[in-house]
Amino acid sequence: MTAIVPETARRGPATRARRGARWLPLFLLALVLLAVLSVVVGSRAIDPAVVWQAIVAPDLADDRHVTVQALRLPRTALVVVVGAALGVAGAVMQAMTRNPLAEPGLLGVNAGAAAAVVTGVLVTRVVDVEVYLWFAFAGAALAAAAVYALGGALQHASNPVRLVLAGAALSVVLGAYTSAVLVNFPSVFDTFRFWDTGSFQGRGGDALVPVGIAVGVGLLIAFSLARPLNALALGAEFGRALGASPRRTWLLAGVAVVLLAGGATAAAGPIGFIGLTAPLIGRAIVGPDYSRLLPFSALVAAIVLLAADILGRVVVLPSELQASIVTAVIGGPVFIALVRRRRVPTL
């Protein structure tokens, strides 16, 4: 007997796909416009014609050209990379835990990065962000690996609840360690707070290359998992029936989250709300299909973070407001509005 499927149910995925196709050019245009604005505005505004000249025919004798080439272009690229990484990491984390309110920090990435940074600064006395970036990335990776081991993912298919509990427990322990070091060694705090504020100030090309490589590999892994994530969204048993291996998928998803969230956190420090709200917005536009949701989450997150970074540069001139503060101010009300309108979609 042939099952009768309601017409509205048949139209649902196609409608979401058409809606995503309509929104995609607008989102891409917004990203391009914000990227241009990011290079133009700052503590010192630079005329767009000068920016174009600095790109196509740079004159190192002109300090405006040097500002564009050495500071604003690398910073803009880094913001886009970090935003895309956080958006995709959040979507993958929500798929892993089957919880639309999950975010990358649940794997202990932020806590592990912070603990490694304070340890590196304490031991080596390093003050250069391009150096302790490596401490942050190593700490994020080790913390996520420990969460996977504690969650039993190395012996059998990971249990989302067990992973979340392991991540929460490890985050508390590492947070206590970080606080103890900062309280007892004030000199470490002076360096650590520059990274912990979640800012792109002073980050440039030296950070862009290693972070870009890590994020690029993480994005490739995440995008390759779109079909298995769709299958496992129906449950482990249905996923196996559709040919997806829960253990392999969760392990690869964990690697992707470590590369994406670890690289982003190492470069810019802890930035909240991006990994949480970008997948929610993307899911509301294109639906739960991860082949569309993952790239849309990357696009939305890059736009939001770039807008936050630009806003932070101009609201308190000549000083600068950290991007993490602006994203909290922007993301908090958006998240509350989604919850109050009951538009947080289920997975």
Q: Which domain holds residue 107?
A: 24-340
Residue entry with tokens 């803009």:
76
Task: With respect to residue 42, please indicate whether it lies within any of the assigned structural domains.
Answer: yes
Task: With respect to residue 151, please indicate whether it lies within any of the assigned structural domains.
Answer: yes
Task: With respect to residue 78, please indicate whether it lies within any of the assigned structural domains.
Answer: yes
Task: With respect to residue 346, please indicate whether it lies within any of the assigned structural domains.
Answer: no
> What CATH number should be reported for the domain holding residue 334?
1.10.3470.10
What is the chain's pLDDT, residue by residue, as a tens digit (347 residues)? 444 444 444 445 566 666 667 788 899 999 999 999 999 987 778 888 888 888 888 888 888 888 888 888 999 999 999 999 999 999 998 888 777 777 877 778 888 988 998 898 888 877 676 677 788 888 888 888 888 788 766 565 556 677 778 888 898 999 999 999 988 888 888 778 777 777 787 776 777 888 899 999 999 999 999 998 888 777 667 667 777 777 788 888 888 988 898 888 888 888 888 888 899 888 888 888 899 999 999 999 999 999 999 998 888 777 788 888 888 887 777 777 766 665 555 55
* Domain count across the chain: 1
Q: Taking the alpha carbons of 124, 128, 133, 134 in that order, is the dihedral positive or negative?
A: negative
**Can you tell me the distance from the alpha carbon of 300 to that of 308, in angstroms, rounded to the nearest whole number?**
12
346 within 8 A of 100, measured Cβ to Cβ: yes
Task: With respect to residue 19, please indicate whether it lies within any of the assigned structural domains.
Answer: no
Q: What is the dihedral of CA 208, 213, 218, 221, to 10 degrees?
A: 150
In the chain the first and final C-alpha atoms are separated, in Å, by 29
pTM for the structure as a whole: 0.87
Closest to 337 in 3D by CA, of 262, 280, 266: 280
Q: What is the dihedral of CA 266, 267, 272, 275, to 10 degrees?
A: -90
Task: With respect to residue 287, please indicate whether it lies within any of the assigned structural domains.
Answer: yes
Task: With respect to residue 2, please indicate whether it lies within any of the assigned structural domains.
Answer: no
